[in-house]
Structure formats: structure tokens, C-alpha cells
């Protein structure tokens, strides 16, 4: 993180999600889910655009890339939200 002071940081979210999904998801998918979760925590609304912008802000990155990352995660058919919620 590039010097931004946030209440919940990337490392905290990643550690928590790893503890939940490390046996069910590939490490890169957990990282992507952690990034989207971080964006969701800091977003003003729960639109893909707002979550991506908040992700970029929290990580000190480019908004366009944050939005694209969230969009790709949510459109990924291999990520079954209901299956993850049940695990």
C-alpha cells in the first residue's frame, strides 16, 4: 500500500479470506477476491464502478485497472458465489 491510511487494509482482508478459502480457491483467485472485498469495504456504493474506484484508492492504484479487475472477477463463471457462501 502506498502510504494510504485506511481502516481495513489489504493485508488484513487477504489474511481473513485465506483463512476461509485457502482449501477451496486458487491463491490468485483469493487475492482477486480480497481486492474486490477491499474495494467493497471502502466504496460509497456497491456498483462495479464504485468498488473498482475504491479498490484503486485503497491500494494507491489506477481507477481504470481497479474497475477492470472487479468487473473480471464478477463476470468469472468459475467463481460460484453460492458455493463460496456455503463453504
Average pLDDT of the residues in 59-81: 94
What's the rounded mean pLDDT across residues 7-30? Answer: 93
Number of independent structural domains in the chain: 1
Question: Which of 11-15, 68-72, 77-81 bottoms out in mean pLDDT, i.e. has the lowest?
Answer: 77-81
Residue 32 inside a domain? The answer is yes
Kindly tell me if the per-residue pLDDT of 5 is higher than 60. yes
Q: Does 30 map to a domain?
A: yes
Whether 4 is covered by a domain: the verdict is: no
Quick check: is 64 in a domain? yes
Q: Has residue 2 been placed in a domain?
A: no
Residue 1 falls within a domain, yes or no? no
Domain holding 79, by residue range, is 10-86
Asked if residue 5 belongs to a domain, the reply is: no
Give domain status of residue 24, yes or no: yes
Model's pTM, two decimal places?
0.85
Burial class (CB in 10 A: 0-12, 13-18, 19+), 49: middle
Say whether pLDDT at 79 is over 70. Answer: yes
Tell me the three cell numbers of residue 32: 482477486
Amino acid at each position: 500500500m502506498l502510504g494510504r491510511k485506511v481502516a481495513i487494509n489489504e493485508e488484513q482482508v487477504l489474511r481473513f479470506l485465506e483463512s476461509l478459502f485457502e482449501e477451496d480457491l486458487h491463491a490468485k483467485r483469493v487475492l482477486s477476491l480480497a481486492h474486490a472485498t477491499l474495494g467493497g469495504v471502502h466504496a460509497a456504493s456497491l456498483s462495479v464502478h464504485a468498488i473498482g474506484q475504491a479498490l484503486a484508492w485503497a491500494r494507491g492504484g489506477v481507477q481504470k485497472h481497479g474497475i477492470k479487475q472487479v468487473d473480471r472477477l464478477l463476470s468469472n463463471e468459475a467463481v460460484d458465489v453460492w458455493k463460496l457462501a456455503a463453504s
